[in-house]
Structure 1
Amino acid sequence: MISRSLDDHMPSSSTAPHPLQRNLAPHLHPFQKPREYTRAMTAVKMDRMFAKPFVDALGGHQDGVYCLGKDPRRVAVVAGGGGDGEVIVHSLALRRPLLKIPNAHKGMVGGICWTSESQDGKRGMVTCGKLDGTVKIWRSEAFAPGLRDKEVFTGSEFASGSGSASTEVLDTAGAIGEGGFEFDEEEGGGLSLDSSKRDALGSKLEPTMTYTSKNGFNSIDHHRTESVFATASNTVQVWDENRSAPLSTLAFGSSMETVAAVRFNQSETSVLASVGNDRTMCLYDVRTGKAERRIVMQFKSNALSWCPTLPTVMLLASEDHNLYTFDIRNLNSPNQIYKGHVGGVMGCDWSPTGEEFVSGSYDRTIRLWNRETGKSRDVYHTKRMQRVFDVTYTPTADFVLSASDDGNVRIWKSNASKKLGPVSTKERQAMEHRQKLIERYSTEKGVRSVKERRHVPQSIHNATKLKREMIESRKVKDDRRRSHTRAGREKPKAERKKTVIVEQK
């Protein structure tokens, strides 16, 4: 018996599209692959045509910007530390400074991080100085624009309607519009656009807590949940916010090396890692107050970052132009080597997804990488951007921030061709379809060549060419040495095995 339902052939509503019947039998579509390949080529060309990664440059610094401190709980707030001791808290959404602290430190700012309070209005900024040997905690209403006492908004759309103590703070950043209310609590507070009031507020602001040391601090990192932070100088010191003296001093044996950077593990928060000027990377356990293991590498590492989704994976930015990922359970050799820069890598940071990371180099470029592949998927540069000293992802992974010594904090899209602003459902579906086509045919020669093609400055191109020639000549020399000397009896050493000289326990 043959039956047919009109529901299968009529639109479900007056606004729904008319259903299309498709026969998916492969013999009825003999040219499907050639058609899809043509569409994939069109899609990848469109992807490159609309690739405009640069969003904006946040100025205001009188000297170069050498460190960044993002607020891990807010997307639109980042602080930049200058070479003249000035700290500026930027709003990425408003693209203007929220607060300028002109003389936060004497000399260069070594590092910036944020305290661990869950409420935006109560969270403070922690800065350290490379020359003056001080750590300071700053707290101001200007750090959280739009956050005000609930009592002010009793019965309004910004509050629950019940009167509450004036010490409570709204926990939603930017709840009030930019043309919001004027408050007399302090000049320049809130979302006021009066730059003179804002500058006056920053110049009058005093730190709520100051910690001093005989040595300057090169780096600082705060514990994820507790009121504890770690600093890097000639040793690694762990501090409590409520005590003026360090809780513990961590060092490997009698080593007196200068520690360049220190980071808490985001999952196993009692694990601490540091890199030093003696080409070392060291692991510490805060609970025991001891250094657990240390490796000595061929070159010095400038920065490190823990993977947010894989607690045992660590990323090192090295002076030999490469980046390395290590699994701390096996430190004999790196998991992967990432090559592409032609200058020392000064900063690195993982994406919140843990699948990608970004690096900034002395060669004036920023590169984005996939964790599984050793070649960068994209490279960003501008004519005016100078040497990049720090990079970071925003907490939503949509944007990348870079700090360079030309005095600017730059905002980049993590996906160069991604459209900013609202996208209709139909447009989003078309973009997803094009992306799937590119992924499906990414191994084809034509699609791959268009997808991976990048234009770089002439200086980078020449340096890459020279570096390639040097590596090739070194390989030829090693081959000849193995052919004509006793070194030929030994097996050639893999590239990953050459990275680590010794592991010390």
Structure 2
Amino acid sequence: MKVKVISRSADEFTRERSQDLQRVFRNYDPDLRSQEKSVEYVRALNAAKLDKIFARPFIGAMDGHVDAVSSMAKNPNHLKGIFSGSMDGDIRLWDLAIRRTVCQFPGHQGAVGGLTVSTDGRVLVSCGTDSTVRLWNVPLPSLMDSGDIFNSEAKEPLAVYVWKNAFRAVDHQWNGDLFATAGAQVDIWNHNRSQPVNSFEWGIDTSISVRFNPGEPNILATSGSDRSITLFDLRLSSPARKIIMRTKTNSIAWNPMEPMNFTAANEDSNCYSYDARKLNEARCVHKDHTSAIMDIDYSPTGREFVTGSYDRTVRIFQYNGGHSREIYHTKRMQRVFCVKFSCDASYVISGSDDTNLRLWKAKASEQLGVVLPRERKKHEYLEAVKNRYKHLPEVKRIVRHRHLPKAIFNALHLRRVKTDSERKKTENRRAHSAPGSVAEVSVRKRRIIQEVE
């Protein structure tokens, strides 16, 4: 007679990290789970509600400047360090973990127009309205982590370049030794030379912002006070392409994951995403702000970007979304002049007119601190369930709902009334005119007046 012995391992029927909880075996056969969609819909609904309950995006404010924060820059080699410049010429290095000033860089006699850090993270470049460009030595991350507070009097610039016009913005080349400044013209500088190695201008208007392309080091985009967006190639002696819009562009940001695309923050309270290879129309129009957008910055993932506006709010957009997924505001925060995504895409930093830098979570309901593996799996499951049922009316209503300040709520309502009125007027004109006499122009092409090559 043969006897078969049944043997079982304890690891097969108990969960990891705990020997007292029984593992639940599930059969995913749809015939056995007839109520699967109903159960998951309720879970998606509850997950959307819990996200609203646990939404606490504001982490803290960093107070130290005595004037409005005008510019910011992040160090690509140090996760928790960020530089800020104010209207009184003060430049500070902040430690985001402790929210304190680590180092000060005094020197500018006017407002700091722009800040940027070299790709190797060793040199900080600043420019201002005092017509000077200053190069600073960036403190080592090891010294910052040790908690040493640097003496502000000991920080002297590595070099000071004096020029004939004020500067509005500066940006450093990716994987190179060049940096560009925007002012009366676009100047290209080298660390080792006190004069620009090249200068570009297309017209006589002032350049407002400048950004190097992350994929092609010799391509840069600028915006001017003549409502233009211009693409330059350092290998050519003349600008490459130029478009003129109806309103001025205050800032430009390239998508780090799709270097051919960039987004322009415009004065008409909209953002416009363009493909550098096809500038005759915008790829996407991002709406929701009620006043001029002052700054924009992409997440390192390239899937989102953050904007700061004159309407005293910070918004986060999907790279291909027409409306914002988050809006951050406080009662004390004034006009936002600069915003940045952290290097790990987990936080957003904003600098405003009330002299404060504010630290926000990129995901309002995200849990800070250590997350256990089982917790992480549950968060991922709930996020997947929400994405699966986000098109249903009740889930969609909860996910999209935002509490807005009264002024912004009224401004959005007024804008909606104006938009509907213009659309109805155009439809009536087209209906009572000869066929083809009233051209239908999409919103993506309507904002461009002229394209110059």
Query: Which category describes the TM-score, using the shorter chain as reference length?
Result: over 0.9
* Pick aligned residue for 2:166 from 202, 205, 216: 216
Partners of 2:175 and 2:31 in 1: CA distance: 60
Partners of 2:169 and 2:320 in 1: CA distance: 29
Partners of 2:86 and 2:26 in 1: CA distance: 62
Partners of 1:292 and 1:14 in 2: CA distance: 60
- Alignment-mate amino acid for residue 112 of structure 1: L
The answer to whether the Cα contact below 8 Å between 1:75 and 1:396 also exists between their aligned partners in 2 is yes
Deviations 1:275-310, CA, capped at 9 Å, x for gaps: 001010001111223211101111110000011010
Partners of 2:8 and 2:443 in 1: CA distance: 64
- Residue equivalent to 2:192: 242
- Residue equivalent to 2:126: 127
- Residue equivalent to 1:158: none
Q: 1:366-381 counterparts in 2 under 5 A?
A: 366-381=314-329
Kindly state the Cα deviation for residue 6 of structure 1 after the two structures are TM-superposed. 4.2
Partners of 1:20 and 1:486 in 2: CA distance: 70
The answer to whether the Cα contact below 8 Å between 2:91 and 2:104 also exists between their aligned partners in 1 is yes
SS in 2 for 1:291: coil
Partners of 1:127 and 1:44 in 2: CA distance: 44
- Residue equivalent to 1:87: 91
Partners of 1:14 and 1:284 in 2: CA distance: 57
Bigger CA drift: 7-16 or 243-252? 7-16
Deviations 1:14-43, CA, capped at 9 Å, x for gaps: 955544333333222222211111111111
Change (3 A) 1:317 1:5: farther
Kindly state the Cα deviation for residue 5 of structure 1 after the two structures are TM-superposed. 6.1
Partners of 1:425 and 1:135 in 2: CA distance: 49
| Structure 2 stretches lacking a partner, 5+ long | none
* Pick aligned residue for 2:152 from 173, 196, 202: 202
Partners of 1:355 and 1:462 in 2: CA distance: 30
- Residue equivalent to 2:75: 71
Pair 1:138 & 2:136 matched: yes
* Pick aligned residue for 2:63 from 59, 78, 84: 59
The answer to whether the Cα contact below 8 Å between 2:78 and 2:141 also exists between their aligned partners in 1 is no
Pair 1:40 & 2:44 matched: yes
Partners of 1:421 and 1:323 in 2: CA distance: 34
- Alignment-mate amino acid for residue 128 of structure 2: G
- Residue equivalent to 2:13: 11
- Residue equivalent to 1:107: 110
Kindly state the Cα deviation for residue 107 of structure 1 after the two structures are TM-superposed. 1.5
* Pick aligned residue for 1:302 from 250, 272, 275: 250
SS in 1 for 2:78: coil
- Computed over aligned residues only, the root mean square deviation of the Cα atoms, in angstroms, reads 2.1
Change (3 A) 1:21 1:204: closer
* Pick aligned residue for 2:214 from 266, 276, 297: 266
- Residue equivalent to 1:233: 183
- Residue equivalent to 1:49: 53
Partners of 2:180 and 2:140 in 1: CA distance: 25
- Alignment-mate amino acid for residue 202 of structure 1: S
Pair 1:359 & 2:355 matched: no
Deviations 1:299-357, CA, capped at 9 Å, x for gaps: 11000001101010011000011001100110000000001000001000110011111
The answer to whether the Cα contact below 8 Å between 1:8 and 1:19 also exists between their aligned partners in 2 is no
Kindly state the Cα deviation for residue 82 of structure 1 after the two structures are TM-superposed. 0.6
- Residue equivalent to 1:442: 390
- Residue equivalent to 1:185: none
* Pick aligned residue for 2:339 from 365, 387, 391: 391
Partners of 1:303 and 1:351 in 2: CA distance: 15
- Alignment-mate amino acid for residue 343 of structure 2: P
SS in 2 for 1:146: helix
* Pick aligned residue for 2:284 from 327, 336, 343: 336
Pair 1:291 & 2:289 matched: no
- Alignment-mate amino acid for residue 476 of structure 1: K
Partners of 1:322 and 1:7 in 2: CA distance: 63
Deviations 1:114-139, CA, capped at 9 Å, x for gaps: 1233xx5xx12111012x10000112
Partners of 2:5 and 2:333 in 1: CA distance: 66
Partners of 2:258 and 2:358 in 1: CA distance: 28
- Residue equivalent to 1:152: none
Q: How many residues align?
A: 449
Bigger CA drift: 32-41 or 302-311? 32-41
The answer to whether the Cα contact below 8 Å between 1:105 and 1:129 also exists between their aligned partners in 2 is yes
Partners of 2:18 and 2:213 in 1: CA distance: 52
| Structure 1 stretches lacking a partner, 5+ long | 148-172, 179-190, 193-197
Partners of 2:321 and 2:182 in 1: CA distance: 31
The answer to whether the Cα contact below 8 Å between 1:306 and 1:315 also exists between their aligned partners in 2 is yes
Pair 1:417 & 2:396 matched: no
The answer to whether the Cα contact below 8 Å between 1:481 and 1:487 also exists between their aligned partners in 2 is no
Change (3 A) 1:4 1:483: farther
- Residue equivalent to 1:427: 375
